Amino acid sequence: ITPQSLRIAVIPGDGIGEEVMPLGLRCLKAAAAKFGLALELTEFEFASCDYYLKHGDMMPEDWHSTLSAYDAIYFGAVGMPDIVPDHVSLWGSLLKFRRDFDQYISLRPCRLLPGIPSPLSNPGDIDFWVVRENTEGEYSSIGGKIFEGTEREVVIQETVMTRIGVDRVLNYALNLARSRPKKHLTSATKSNGISITMPYWDERLKALSAERGYDDLKIDKFHIDIFTAWIVLNPSQFDVVVGSNLFGDILSDLGPACTGTIGVAPSGNINPEGKFPSLFEPVHGSAPDICGKGIANPVGMIWAGQMMLQHFGFKDAAGAMMRAIEDVLAEGASHIITPDMGGSTGTTESLGAAIERKILGGA
Ligand code: NAI
Ligand code: MG
């Protein structure tokens, strides 16, 4: 799927989502101008708590057909917990996108950027992707309680793994690994303790890699317990990491946490076939504690835009955006860098504008 032009639905959402989005858009437009891409950007005010307060719902009834017309959704953040409960705002927006647009891949880069200190004392060169199954597995609604409140109380929740669901995430991860120089895939499992679904996950990986001739890849697996330890002890050994919904959830918070501030990490919720739009967003939320101060780090938002261009195969533009982010962070000018990364007077505007200038000026 490499369209000549992209139609993008822009949803700033709440809080600092509204503050970082303008810088994300400026950087995307700079990359588009520089590399001759046609980007059609249409902004929507729904999927925000302001919209909820006006309309009594997070989104209009026809949101699905409205957004289906776009190639991708560029999303800020949602949530104003003092005014609208988080389960209402989240289930009424982001989680609907994930389910109804079958965004079955959650994708996060874990990369230690220059100028950003890692919480690990000896991080090495961290540069891997976490691929998480995003629709089934441990997060099913199958189960229940009986004899509640009595001594016979029973509570059951089932894990659901379908062949379609398991194969498609493993295939995505295999292809991603093949596209990278190290060609190395590591699968998260727990087939020693979870004796039915996890051996199935392992078997499907073995079968797919054999059937489809992935002899050029190095493929290995770790049980999730030691896997988390290795991410802290020796993260530079990983290249592409794949996990079920639960294991992927854990790894996709742990990985970026090892690369420093939450303000820089991006995330993709992807429907790889392009049957529905994919969604690209920063990992962080609406940060009510710093909202309105103009100091939110815009890098997560800008990097999410970079991932979006990369996803659609605009390699040159995506490469230039990534280099611009890295260069500005490496220079580390304290009047440009935001306070969460140790800057002094840097703001959302100063940092975003510096990256925009690099994109326009850089080769
Ligand atoms: P948060 O990510 O909004 O903030 C956590 C901490 O990190 C805060 O101290 C914040 O100031 C800081 N932080 C976050 N992004 C930053 C940035 N770009 N630059 C500098 N500092 C940054 O998470 P929190 O506080 O748990 O949630 C706040 C609201 O956001 C809630 O309503 C929550 O449900 C929502 N949320 C939404 C997400 C989304 O839209 N995908 C993801 C996470 C939370
Ligand atoms: Mg999580």
Helical (H) or strand (E) element with 269: strand 266-270
Cα 286 to ligand 1 centre (Å): 5
Does any ligand 1 atom lie closer than 6 A to the CB of residue 263? yes
Nearest CA, atom 1, ligand 1 = 285
Cβ 300 under 6 angstroms from ligand 1: yes
Distance between Cα 251 and ligand 2 center (Å): 9
- Domain 118-259 fold: Isopropylmalate Dehydrogenase (3.40.718)
Interacting residues of 132 by C-beta distance below 8 A, sequence separation 6+: 105, 106, 107, 108, 169, 242, 243, 244, 245, 247, 248, 249, 251, 252
Average pLDDT rounded to a whole number, residues 115-140? 93
- Looking at the DSSP assignment, which residues form a beta bridge with residue 43? 10
pLDDT higher than 90, residue 141: no
- Nearest ligand to the CA of 130 is 2
Phi-psi sector, 362: left (phi>0), alpha (psi -120 to 50), beta:
beta
Record the pTM.
0.94
pLDDT at 363: 45
Q: What's phi and psi for 346, nearest 5 deg? A: -65, 150
**Which of ligand 1's atoms lies nearest the C-alpha of 75?**
40
- Which residue's CA is minimally distant from atom 37 of ligand 1? 285
Place 262 in a pLDDT band, splitting at 50, 70 and 90. confident
Rounded alpha-carbon distances, angstroms, from residue 275 to 1, 172, 208:
10, 15, 23
Q: What is the ipTM of this complex?
A: 0.98
**Which ligand number lies closest to the CA of residue 282?**
1
**Closest listed ligand to the CA of 18:** 1
Q: Is ligand 1 within 6 A of the CB of residue 297?
A: yes
Q: Which atom of ligand 1 is nearest to the CA of 296?
A: 19
Which carries the bigger pLDDT value, residue 168 or residue 212?
A: 168
C-alpha 176/C-alpha 160 separation (Å) is: 25
Within its chain, how far is the Cα of 256 from the centroid?
A: 10
pLDDT for residue 3? 55
Q: Which two tokens stand for residue 188?
A: 């998260």
- What are the extents of the domains in the chain? 1-108+265-363, 118-259
Ligand 1 lined by 298 (C-beta under 6 Å): no
Please compute the mean of the pLDDT values over residues 333-353 and round it to a whole number: 96
Which whole number is the average pLDDT over 188-207?
A: 97
Cα dist. 138→62, 135, 198 in Å? Answer: 31, 9, 11
Above 60 in pLDDT, residue 1? no
For 1-108+265-363, CATH number out of 3.30.1490.190, 1.20.120.420, 3.40.718.10, 1.10.760.10 equals: 3.40.718.10
Q: Is 281 in the pocket of ligand 1 (CB under 6 A)?
A: yes
CA–centroid distance, residue 348 to ligand 1 (Å): 15
256 CB near ligand 1 (under 6 Å): no
Q: Is 37 helix (H, G, I), strand (E, B) or coil?
A: coil
Q: Which residues of 64-99 are buried (b: 16+ CB within 10 A; e: fewer)?
A: eeebeebbbbbbbbbbbeeebeeeebbebbbebbbe
Task: Report residue 254 as tokens.
Answer: 């742990």
Residue nearest to atom 17 of ligand 1 (CA): 263
Ligand nearest to the CA of 247: 2
DSSP state of 236: G
One-letter amino acid at 216 equals D
State whether the beta carbon of 76 lies less than 6 angstroms from ligand 1: no
pLDDT 10s digits, 46-92: 999 999 999 999 999 999 999 999 999 999 999 999 999 999 999 99
Residue 303: half-sphere exposure toward Cβ, Cα within 13 Å: 26
pLDDT, the chain, mean: 95
Atom of ligand 1 nearest to the CA of 287: 3
- CA 253 to ligand 2 center in whole angstroms: 6
Residue 4: which pLDDT band, with cuts at 50, 70 and 90? low
Q: Comparing 1-108+265-363 with 118-259, is the CATH topology the same?
A: yes
pLDDT in tens, 205-222: 999 999 888 889 999 999
Q: What confidence score (pLDDT) does residue 362 get?
A: 61
Residue 222 pLDDT: 98
Rounded CA-CA distance 260/255 in Å is 10
